[in-house]
Structure 1
Amino acid sequence: MMKTIKFILLLAAILAVAWVTPALLRNPGLIQVELLGYQVQMTAIAAALLVAALFLIIWVAYALFKAPKTAVKNIKANVGRKKFARGLLALSEGKWAQAEKLLIQSVKQSPTPELSYMAAARAAVSQHNIEAAEQYLDQAEALIDNPLTVDLTRCEIWLKTGQADKAMPLLDLILKTYPNNPKAVHLLTQASQDSGQWQQLRNILPKAEKLKIINPEQAQLLNLQATEARFQTLDSVEHLMALWQGLNKKEQAHYLNQFCQHGIRVSAFQQVTEQIEKSQKTQFNNLLVDFWSELPHNLNHRLKVAEKWLSQHPSNPHVLMCNAKLQMAKKQWDQAESLLLKNMAISHSPESVKETNQLLGQVYQEQQQPEKALTHYRLAAKSSQAITVIDQNH
């Protein structure tokens, strides 16, 4: 497009000259100048050519006057570029001290001194000289109008030196102005992991995936890590429910076991009870049965529900054990004994056998049958030894 415009302008100029020249030749006009008693006459065309020549002479003289200074400037810039290139090469080769020295030397002669300072900051960090790196970055920031590049470098250095908490506020500020900056999104993803800001990590993952900073498999893995870590660190019923309600239905189904485990830990007994009952109606889960027996809440209701499960799954070891534990909590020793003996007959795993013997020992101890109690305690001890041997072999 620009070439076409230039061609049209050149053609118009040629046509204008072709139209004006014959008129000037027919009537060139005269210019008379009196100076110091002398009279000089010339045509308008000659005067124009003389003025043009005068301007040309002045321009050439000025260029010649500036040539040495320009040459020196170009030589210095070339020296600066060479030092900068050598500094970057030393930096890539791990020669940190040499790189820092060359990069700082290139600052005065470089057309882009801020790049020299930022590279020198990286070299200083590699030598564990954090204070010098910060000074270099401050000097780089003072040389430019937009501090984005320097701020990103600063955040990257903070992450490298284990200061993720320090980088988080600056990255948030950057993303408010540049919401789709790939480097900022990448650094915030890393900073969120390093500082344990798991909700922040979950929030930034969709954008990181959209910008192709991470692939869908990595996003899924990081989301899993973030959610599991949040379950691990929550410390109240309110935090548990805030996390749970922030999950979609598919995620709630996936994390139900973690919800129950940590719900019991933070005493969210009513909430765990409701979720277990709701889930067992659609898909029966043996691990939820185990959690049901651990709840120190609403014993009569839990026993009633467990007995319903027993009628539906009469040979399920988890259901038998759950009912036995609840009967023991009710001090119904005979019913507990019957359930434990039935579980003993169908249970095959060493862990289940050990736990069943331990509970039978407690039941017989409560029933004032010390010999039977001692027998089952011994069997539980043997099972424990067998489990230890199996673990050592694996």
Structure 2
Amino acid sequence: MPTTRAAARAVLRLGAVALAGSLLAACGSGTSGTASDGAGGKVTLTVDLFGSFGYKEAGLYAEYEKLHPNVTIKQSDTQDEADYWKSLQTRLAGGGGLADVQGIEVGRIASVTQQQAERFEDLRKYGADSLKDRFAEAKWAAAAGKNGEVLALGTDVGPEALCYRTDLFAEAGLPTDRAELAKRWSTWDGYLDLGRQYKAKAPGKSAWIDSVGSLYSIMIGQEKERYYDASGALIWETNPPLKAAWNASVEASRDGLSAKLDQWSPQWNQAFAAGSFATIPCPAWMLGYIKGQAGETGKGKWDVAPLPGGAGNWGGAYLAVPRAAKHKKEAYELVTWLTAPEQQAKVFTAQGNFPSATAAIAEVAGTTDPYFNGAPIGKIFGDAAKAAPVQVLGVHDQNISQQITNALSEVERKGLAPDKAWENAKKGVANTLG
């Protein structure tokens, strides 16, 4: 969702989910009344998330509280998903300080299902089995435990596109029409070539892209196998598509196309409004992040076009209920409501997080976004979601991805030789995996 989600979120699993399957009639969004343990039958549900899931922005908490007058929802946020996950692991190990609802980035879901199933509620005990047909098959299956447990319900997925600044493109003499750009950058070579043209006439001190780490992440999100193969074996060191994404990122750094900004840093946040870069790899959840950082002054300056090189997926998330949660049944009811097709459609309209519920996909197909110059975001991201590969998920996807993007940051920000940076990535992964 990141997102590090959002912020990401980020892969972030990079988890790719093909959103195929028949479209279903919207499931009912009402829930039963909650049990209480407070004065006057009042219940406070705590929700702990990373990045921007869009629930506040879409008014969903207020709507749920109106439907359930005895419920108050309190949300806490951590912007950086890596920080969030580290804190969550500490609290899971100690059994205290956990929220009733915890967000899980898709790059972590294999860790939950394969290594931590005993720390989360099996939602089947509350009736989650009946919800399976709401979701794309791959989204549902990824959150299933070894014995068929339902350990989380899916929120969004991250079909990919490119977001770009039309005003900066125009100043640099480049076309601004999204259809023409899609043809010009139908391949990643075309995208980098257009970047070199931009650099030659770039307005101010703006760069072509925010960071080479984001370029790597969006490219690897187009692959079915990235860090593990279908048998569960680690393949990242020898995987040709991964090395191709690394090489393209190194090339972008060498050619001076990057603004050299660490994603999710304060400087990166400020750069959205400052116009420090002209393009950014843009999974659907990035739309809400751009709006939040660029603000009203950015409205109409941004646009969205299809991704070079075909469809992919970067990010997405789940909602889970820890075993140590105080209000497990009530938490499940909230999670069920938040992930229902109606609510997923509302979040996409307000924030851009693309639905994982199949019925919601049809509902948002015609959505356009005035902030992004009227871009047909429902079609762009819907087409990408349908064509995205169903990726192999591994326990340490997110950790490996982080080590690689850290190494690329050393290339672009410190001038480290790519071969040396690659060796650092290998060492980092080895240390992470133990």
Larger Rg: 1
Which has more strand, going by share of residues?
Answer: 2
- Establish whether TM, by shorter chain, passes 0.5: no
* TM-score (ref. length: structure 1): 0.19
* TM-score (ref. length: structure 2): 0.18
Considering Cα pairs closer than 8 Å and 6+ residues apart, tell me whether 1 or 2 has the greater RCO: 2
